[in-house]
């Protein structure tokens, strides 16, 4: 059944809270805007998405190595990258209700594209709407709105100095993106591993942004995780490598059940001064009512390494071991938000189905490799020791290979529904026939069909189907 976007988001948030996927951070104190905690099933799902990305990007390739750089970096890092000077958003305030909004998002609601536009252009567009008496507060409808001004997205810390001395001289930033650590470790990676060109450095890690308006559940938050690859190449290889990575990343989404019609490429016309190409992968979020960015692929030139070499005084070149040629590599980057992929897979998977007799079921039809729990084991009845013992023994043997749950609480129908809601692909029931035949009933999440499988074969049976 089709669910309207606003109702779907409400159902999705409720499911995440009820089944332990996502909680508002610090909820017992009233919460903290734009920050969320991941419960048991949430962290299992998030880790599975992360591991699927890592396997595809690092484990299955010979030309990519891994990294886990620190959240805190030398303050000069962000001066070199331009973040201190330019990493901000235009904000607009309502004097009546005191709410704050992204000015470019306000303009977008009027059909004006002001993405990455200079502040004077943003204010000029806002003034046009004021003159036409169209500009109103999105929250309360007031026309008493301020001009746009810049709002830094950098989060400051007093690391290593007293709080009272939190000045520009002593400030250390929480990283706003993870790629900075890759650039700073480019030289260490080359010197220690001696990778052949071209090669990539990948990492998964936390990033922090002082978003003006954190919104749309976990789609836009102030604390999030990025999965990034910086791929170092010769400049003449840029176009070929860029196209290869676009093909490779597209294939990853299809591999994990995203349909081609659910994603699209968005080509950036307004590019950073150092970039030659920039594309986003956008997913058609049912709960958000349209296509939104989940990943970016960018041809960044050699600007990043050149700037860090300039600011650090270190030579960040690549020396060809065969020819002795020295050059500063160019970079193709892929950067994806892990939290956004989490929302993407949940949003795609959540289905409400009519199961007859006026009943419906909510089910997460997640790709089996991503599902938090792969198999649940039930005894048909909890008060029959011969059933519970056999079910426990099977559960203990399966959990060595799969993420499993044992459940004997309530009737069998309710147990199936609980597993449907967390996306468990297979439920195994130990019944009285199991005592005679050493076989079990296996129920498929998506079709709800059941079949008998020998206990001796159940591990291999499941293993073949969750790949």
CATH number of 88-152: 3.30.40.230
Q: How confident is the model at residue 165 (pLDDT cuts 50, 70, 90)?
A: low
pLDDT at 205: 97
pLDDT at residue 213 tops 70: no
pLDDT at 322: 85
Q: How confident is the model at residue 166 (pLDDT cuts 50, 70, 90)?
A: low
- Under 8 Å between Cβ of 275 and 330: no
Q: Please indicate whether residue 79 or residue 189 has the higher confidence score (pLDDT).
A: 189
Task: Tell me whether the CATH fold assigned to 5-82+156-348 matches the one assigned to 88-152.
Answer: no
Q: How confident is the model at residue 1 (pLDDT cuts 50, 70, 90)?
A: low
Q: Please indicate whether residue 101 or residue 86 has the higher confidence score (pLDDT).
A: 101
pLDDT at residue 19 tops 70: yes
pLDDT at residue 329 tops 90: yes
pLDDT tens per residue across span 228-268 = 999 999 999 999 999 999 999 999 999 999 999 999 999 99
pLDDT at residue 105 tops 80: yes
pLDDT at residue 363 tops 70: yes
> Where are the chain's structural domains?
5-82+156-348, 88-152, 373-465
Q: How confident is the model at residue 425 (pLDDT cuts 50, 70, 90)?
A: very high
Q: Please state which architecture CATH assigns to domain 5-82+156-348.
A: 2-Layer Sandwich (3.30)
**Model pTM?**
0.91
pLDDT at 167: 65
**Per-chain mean pLDDT for the chain:** 92
pLDDT at residue 208 tops 60: yes
pLDDT at residue 170 tops 80: no
Q: How confident is the model at residue 273 (pLDDT cuts 50, 70, 90)?
A: confident
Mean pLDDT along residues 295-312? 96
Mean pLDDT along residues 76-94? 85
Homologous superfamily assigned to 373-465: Anticodon-binding domain (3.40.50.800)
């Amino acid at each position: 059944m089709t669910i309207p976007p606003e109702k779907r988001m409400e159902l999705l948030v409720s499911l995440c809270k009820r089944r332990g996927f996502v909680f508002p951070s610090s909820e017992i104190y009233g919460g903290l805007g734009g920050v969320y905690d991941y419960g048991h099933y949430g962290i299992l799902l998030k880790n599975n998405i992360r591991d699927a990305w890592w396997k595809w990007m690092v484990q299955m390739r010979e030309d990519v190595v891994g990294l886990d750089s620190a959240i805190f970096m030398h303050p000069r890092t962000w001066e070199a990258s331009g973040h201190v000077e330019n990493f901000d958003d235009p904000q607009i305030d309502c004097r009546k209700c005191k709410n704050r909004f992204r000015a470019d998002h306000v303009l977008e609601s009027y059909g004006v594209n002001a993405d990455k536009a200079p502040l004077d252009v943003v204010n000029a567009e806002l003034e046009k709407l004021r003159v036409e008496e169209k500009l109103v507060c999105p929250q309360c409808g007031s026309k008493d709105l301020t001009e746009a001004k810049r709002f830094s997205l950098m989060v400051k810390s007093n690391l290593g100095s007293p709080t009272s001395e939190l000045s520009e001289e002593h400030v250390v930033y929480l990283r706003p993106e993870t790629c900075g650590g890759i650039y700073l470790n480019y030289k260490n990676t080359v010197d220690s591993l001696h990778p052949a060109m071209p090669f990539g450095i990948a990492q998964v890690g936390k990033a922090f942004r002082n978003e003006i308006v954190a919104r749309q559940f976990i789609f836009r938050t102030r604390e999030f995780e990025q999965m990034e690859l910086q791929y170092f190449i010769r400049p003449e290889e840029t176009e070929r490598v860029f196209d290869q990575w676009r093909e490779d990343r597209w294939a990853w989404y299809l591999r994990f059940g995203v349909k081609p019609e659910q994603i699209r490429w968005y080509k950036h016309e307004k590019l950073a001064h150092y970039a030659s190409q920039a594309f986003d992968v956008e997913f058609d979020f049912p709960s958000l009512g349209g296509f939104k960015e989940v990943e970016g692929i960018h041809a960044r030139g050699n600007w990043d390494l050149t700037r860090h070499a300039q600011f650090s005084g270190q030579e960040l070149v690549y020396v060809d071991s065969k020819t002795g040629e020295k050059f500063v590599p160019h970079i193709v980057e892929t950067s994806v938000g892990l939290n956004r992929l989490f929302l993407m897979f949940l949003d795609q998977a959540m289905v409400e189905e009519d199961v007859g007799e006026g009943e419906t079921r909510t089910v997460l039809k997640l790709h089996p490799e991503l599902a938090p729990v792969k198999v649940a084991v039930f005894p048909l009845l909890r008060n029959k020791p011969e059933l519970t013992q056999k079910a426990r023994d099977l559960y203990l043997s399966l959990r060595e290979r799969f993420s499993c749950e044992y459940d004997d609480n309530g009737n069998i129908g309710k147990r199936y529904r609980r597993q449907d809601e967390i996306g468990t692909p297979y439920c195994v029931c130990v019944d009285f026939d199991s005592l005679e035949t050493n076989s079990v009933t296996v129920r498929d999440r998506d079709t709800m069909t059941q079949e008998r499988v020998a206990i001796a074969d159940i591990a291999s049976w499941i293993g073949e189907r969750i790949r």
